[in-house]
């Protein structure tokens, strides 16, 4: 199975942003931290976002139950961060 290139991941992110957020990807800067997950700061037509792509070997994203758990954790994280300022 061929590895996914960085360009392929960015194209996938652009498609996902267009489909789910109705926004265009303008630029992407990779964040080179962590062990296996891919992360970017992306500039879109609606502003700047942080994007994280989970490593398929570490997280079983094909499992709907696991995906639900990840989604719930991210929603809770978002709720807890509302009102905080980033310095």
CB 46 within 8 A of CB 21: yes
Pull the structure tokens for residue 57. Answer: 């070997």
pLDDT for residue 86 is more than 70:
no
Q: Which long-range contacts (CB under 8 A, 24 or more apart) does 6-14 make?
A: 6/30, 6/38, 9/38, 9/53, 10/40, 12/53, 13/40, 13/42, 13/51, 13/53
Mean pLDDT of the chain: 81
pLDDT at site 42: 94
Could you report the per-residue pLDDT of 22-45, keeping only the tens digit for each? 999 999 999 988 777 888 999 999
Per-residue pLDDT reduced to its tens digit, 57-69:
777 767 888 878 8
Distance CA 20, CA 50 (A): 15
């Amino acid at each position: 199975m061929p590895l996914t290139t960085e360009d392929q991941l960015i194209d996938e992110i652009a498609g996902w942003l267009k489909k789910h957020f109705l926004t265009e990807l303008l630029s992407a800067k990779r964040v080179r931290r962590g062990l296996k997950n891919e992360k970017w700061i992306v500039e879109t037509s609606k502003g700047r976002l942080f994007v994280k792509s989970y490593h398929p070997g570490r997280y079983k994203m094909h499992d709907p139950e696991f995906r639900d758990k990840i989604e719930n954790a991210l929603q809770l994280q978002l709720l807890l961060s509302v009102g905080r300022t980033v310095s």
